Structure 1
Amino acid sequence: MKHGLLLIDKPSGMTSHDVVQKVRRILNQKSVGHIGTLDPLASGLLGVVLGEATKLAQWLQVADKTYLADIKLGETTTTLDSDGDVVESKAVEVSRERVEEQVSQLNGDFDWPIPFFSAKKVGGEELYKKAYRGEAVPDLPLKKMSFFDVSLREYEKPHVQVKLSCEKGGFIRTWADQMGKALGVGAHLTGLRRLRVGRFEISQACDLKDLEEGRFEPAFFGFSELVRDWKTVRVNSKEEKLMENGQVPFDLQARLIPEQKEVLRSGQEQGVRVCNSEGQLRALLMIRPGQGIKILRVFKLDPDAFSH
């Protein structure tokens, strides 16, 4: 069984779940998940977590992401992308200079409505279910969305291609819709390719054919690689035994006092890798504001050592 992150270049037309199912079958491994869902319309970098790495999914998916977005001006759709029905059409007489100006202005933090066709829950139910029933939601919830490094790549009226990065929770469909509104002609997303997630790039990924043929090692990152940026501490055999029994050793807590103070100051949780005297990973801890140190996972064996 493998434990780590597999970078897949997802083709357009497949759901992220379809990719997970295919990876399960090819690797003959049940413990498989993904981070950062890609809609069927989108292609590009999808992180697939394997084995023990599935326990890290919630921390891995907070990384910011970079996309190449194809947008059509002049048409607004129900879903804000090409999967929806066109609800309004307008002639597009917009210069490249005006598009460039608007693209540069949509760079920063915005409080924008969440797309109606999304998994966000309102009244205990996902919005897309209300949308499919034709149920109106007069005030869609607003969400802070952060976009940066936004640049215009191509413009051939009415088609626009933009490269942009966003923090977790940003909807590229919404960005495209807002650009159309600002230009006064409407717009929707026609294509999307994810190029980067955190420090991982699409150039490092393999496609599903590579996976089928066993040529995926360059796209696989072992468990320890995923937490390499976490604070690392070493413990002796006695402390290791205490953690196996669910206890954070007192001496270890004392050694992590500077990190606990920083977490309280910043309000941001911090992960800690615990290794034995030989440098093998034995546990993962999380320091949370106001909650102290919690054990996330204790390993009987080094996860990288028994990936095969």
Structure 2
Amino acid sequence: MARKKGRDISGWLIVDKPAGMTSTSVVNKVRWALAAKKAGHAGTLDPEATGVLAVALGEATKTVPFITDALKAYRFTVRLGQRTNTDDGEGEVITSSDARPSDDEIKEALHGFVGEIQQVPPQFSAVKIDGERAYKRARDGETMEIEPRPLWVEELVMTGRPDADHVELEMTCGKGGYVRSIARDLGEALGCHGHVLKLRRIWSGPFEAEDGITIEQVDALAKSPELDARLLPLEVGLAELPELKCTAEGAARLRNGNPGMVIPGEVDYGDEAWASFEGRAVAVGVFKGGELHPNRVFVQPAAG
């Protein structure tokens, strides 16, 4: 089997994704620009969406689940009065209405979308139906029954009303949220239909769009030390977990996949945490009886 070519480089590059580019295309561009052996992202954005796309390189890919599970925030515009087959502006209008809710009616309806809600993903989405992506079947003209899925919505507020046809919203939610479904269901709740017109992810876990690099900058700095310098350490991806420091002996045991002694901190028996030695992440695991039992181990060069 041929080995992947590229550098063993690890860390996070936060990209401010432009509209019109798929998340996979962004990852491929970053992998090329950094000549990296391995890369992935923490949470897909629709092609027409913009904002935070956190790209993990090398060992940082092992921390992707912690960013995927973290809260995220979106700023988006809903076009009222029209429903499309894709639930965004790229699709065909399939039904419309002349009804337009007042600001107060919108604010009242938003209460029904906060907390633990059930959400049906769009027909044009990457969820699998009988082993096949929904969007592939939708492109063939098939209408599918997609089971609702739980979503935690921390906050959903109206931030603007440019005119009767449009409303601007911001939402903070957990893993697996579809903003297009929120727009669709809000339109139905208001009796006027709706779809997403613009969508921007403004932050995801510890990463913010305003700190992101543009694709133009990635191109301009490709294969240069300046682009390497924009990488954040993989430890940033563990910000949601408590840190426990370990001794040299504990670190050696953890690196070999064995339970290692850690210095007790604000972690209870059975909690998930990550262990560090000289500032570098060694492993993620479960704290039991003064030891961390690893389930992910990081291969990193020594500090300094």
TM-score of the two chains, using structure 2 as the length reference: 0.85
Q: Mind listing any 5+ residue stretches in structure 2 that lack a counterpart?
A: 1-6
Equivalent-residue separation in structure 2 for 1:6 and 1:300 (angstroms): 17
Find the counterpart in structure 1 of residue 301 from structure 2. 301
- 1:295: how far off? 3.8
> Superposition RMSD on alpha carbons, in Å?
2.6
Unaligned 5+ runs, structure 1: 264-269
Per the TM alignment, residue 93 of structure 1 is displaced from its structure 2 partner at its CA by: 3.1
Among 272, 275, 281, the residue aligned to 1:273: 275
Cα separation, 2, equivalents of 1:298 and 1:67? 31
Distance in 1 between the 2:295 and 2:110 partners? 45
Does 1:235 find its partner at 2:247? yes
The question of whether the paired residues in 2 share the 8 Å contact of 1:43 and 1:193 is answered with yes
Partner of 1:141: 147
Letter of the 1:293 partner, please give it.
H
Cα deviation, 1:147-182, whole Å, max 9, x if unaligned, reads 232221222121111111111111111110111001
Task: Check the 8 A contact 2:74/2:170 in 1, yes or no.
Answer: yes
CA distance in 1, matches of 2:84, 2:287: 42
| CA gap 1:246/1:99 in 2 versus in 1, 3 angstroms | closer
CA distance in 1, matches of 2:135, 2:299: 40
- Aligned residue type for 2:149: K
Query: Structure 1 CA distance, aligned partners of 2:199 and 2:281?
Result: 40
C-alpha contact (below 8 Å) 1:117/1:128 kept by paired residues? yes
1:211-250 equivalent positions in 2, closer than 5 A: 211-214=218-221, 220-228=231-239, 229-237=241-249, 239-249=250-260
Q: Distance in 2 between matches of 1:127 and 1:299?
A: 37
1:267 maps to what in 2? Answer: none
Assess if the C-alpha contact under 8 Å between 1:8 and 1:219 holds in 2: no
Contact preservation (8 Å) 1:281, 1:299: no
* CA-CA distance at 1:129 after TM superposition: 2.3
- Tell me, yes or no, if structure 1 residue 261 matches structure 2 residue 263: no
Q: CA deviation at 1:219?
A: 5.0
Distance 2:166 2:281 in 1: 52
| Higher mean displacement: 177-186 or 228-237 | 228-237
Match of residue 131 from structure 1: 138
Q: What is the percentage of aligned positions where both structures have the same residue? A: 28
2:23 partner amino acid:
S
CA distance in 2, matches of 1:300, 1:163: 38
How many Å separate the matches in 2 of 1:206 and 1:258?
Answer: 35
Provide TM-score, normalisation by structure 1: 0.84
Shift of residue 256, structure 1, vs aligned partner: 6.5
Residue in 2 that maps onto 1:182: 189
Report matched runs for 1:1-308 at 5 Å: 1=7, 2-137=9-144, 139-155=145-161, 156-214=163-221, 220-228=231-239, 229-237=241-249, 239-249=250-260, 252=261, 259=267, 261-263=269-271, 270-275=272-277, 279-281=278-280, 283-287=282-286, 293-299=293-299, 301-302=301-302
Amino acid at match of 2:159: R
Change (3 A) 1:93 1:245: closer
Deviating more after overlay: 224-233 vs 200-209: 224-233
Counterpart secondary structure, 1:94? coil
Work out the CA distance in 2 between the residues paired with 1:178 and 1:29. 41
Greater shift, 212-221 or 81-90, is seen at 212-221
Pair 1:151–1:92, CA change in 2 (3 A): same
- Contact 2:14-2:55 within 8 A present in 1 as well: yes
